[in-house]
Amino acid sequence: MLDKDALCNIPTRLLGRPFSREVLEELRVQIRLAEGCNRAEIARRVCRQFGWTNRSGRWALMSARVALLRLHARGLIELPQPRNGNGNGRPYWPNCPLPPADPILSLEGLRPLVWQVVAGPEPSALWNSLIESYHYLGHENLPGAQMRYLIRAKDGRLLGAIGFGAAAWHLACRDQWIGWTSVQRRSSLDLVLNNARFLILPWVRAANLASHILGESRRRLPGDFQKRYGWRPVLLETFVDERYAGHCYRAANWIYLGPTQGRGKKGAHKVAGQTPVTVKGVWVYPLSPNFRNQLCAEQGRPNG
């Protein structure tokens, strides 16, 4: 039985679909029926039960796992302990030591940069640990379909990390700029990716490196994403904390749209007792010349 605080934390939408107490109860039944299964298998069963698929028709396993973790954190469901011991949100530490803090002061000699797609436990542990150790927001599981990269100089020296995940569900200045309806947004939001983390290691102080990485990422990301998931994103977004000016995004030709309303990526719904979200600047970059036509097409497909 859920207590009053837990009932207040039931989201109104999950994976872009209406969510209610009735759906939650059905979800809890599926978890009980999966007794003895690990979290990955529970996510598979839930995807099959609720028809949670992505644009390519594959099960939305990553989105489902992140959604289940959030429900678990709110006390709405109870998941089994993770079998791999990663702690699902606690700091990650790689098996190998972090790189030495030798200053890197010039972009000269670093290019061409080496981009490593994060796939497999060791690169993932290193990416997570770098973000937890050196990014001001720390590590957090990226939601939805995602791409993460480790970025190295041509001689193998580690320079930084960048990650893209699911876009914000509702964002007033972005939605007005795109000009889509709520129906179109539900159908096409998976064509938008959020640059959720961008890190240049603190001892790397090469001028123009950040904007250079952003420029390379927008050229590389669509093809890598399509290879992994089966469709191409057409728009990037990011949030820049008010304490920063976003110079590297401006230098990389991103478009500033205005401030958020301090509600977080999930829109107006707030979790009881949650620390208020700070106001951030919203920046976007179109990846396709006809991105508005693609985003405003009502495809009648659930967003998974």
CATH code of the domain containing 121: 3.40.630.30
What was the pLDDT predicted at 205?
A: 93
What was the pLDDT predicted at 261?
A: 76
Q: Is the peptide bond before 112 cis (omega within 30 degrees of 0)?
A: yes
Q: Are residues 158 and 18 in the same domain?
A: no
In a domain, 196, yes or no: yes
Q: Are residues 258 and 152 in the same domain?
A: yes
What was the pLDDT predicted at 258?
A: 94
Q: CA-CA distance, 29 to 287, in Å (whole number)?
A: 42
Q: CA-CA distance, 15 to 304, in Å (whole number)?
A: 5
Domain encompassing residue 140: 114-295
The DSSP element (H or E) to which 75 belongs, if any, is: none
pLDDT digit string, tens, across residues 19-31: 888 889 999 998 9
Category of 79 on φ-ψ map: left (φ > 0), alpha (ψ -120 to 50) or beta: beta
- Which of 73, 106, 134 is the last residue in one of the domains? 73
Q: Are residues 154 and 44 in the same domain?
A: no
Q: CA-CA distance, 269 to 289, in Å (whole number)?
A: 33
Tokens 């949030």 belong to: 239
Characterize 167-192 residue by residue with b for buried, 16 or more Cβ atoms within 10 angstroms of its Cβ, and e for exposed. Answer: bbbbbebbbebbebeeebbbbbbbbb
Q: Are residues 207 and 263 in the same domain?
A: yes
In a domain, 83, yes or no: no
Question: Which parts of the chain have pLDDT scores under 50?
Answer: 87, 89, 267-275, 300-304
Do the bridges between strand 280-286 and strand 255-259 make them parallel or antiparallel, or are there none, so unpaired? antiparallel
Q: Considering its fold, how many domains does the chain have in total? A: 2
Nearest to 142 by CA among 174, 116, 167: 167
Classify 204 as helix, strand or coil. strand
Q: Are residues 11 and 62 in the same domain?
A: yes
Q: Are residues 166 and 286 in the same domain?
A: yes
- Which of 16, 44, 73 is the last residue in one of the domains? 73
Q: CA-CA distance, 295 to 23, in Å (whole number)?
A: 28
Q: Are residues 132 and 42 in the same domain?
A: no
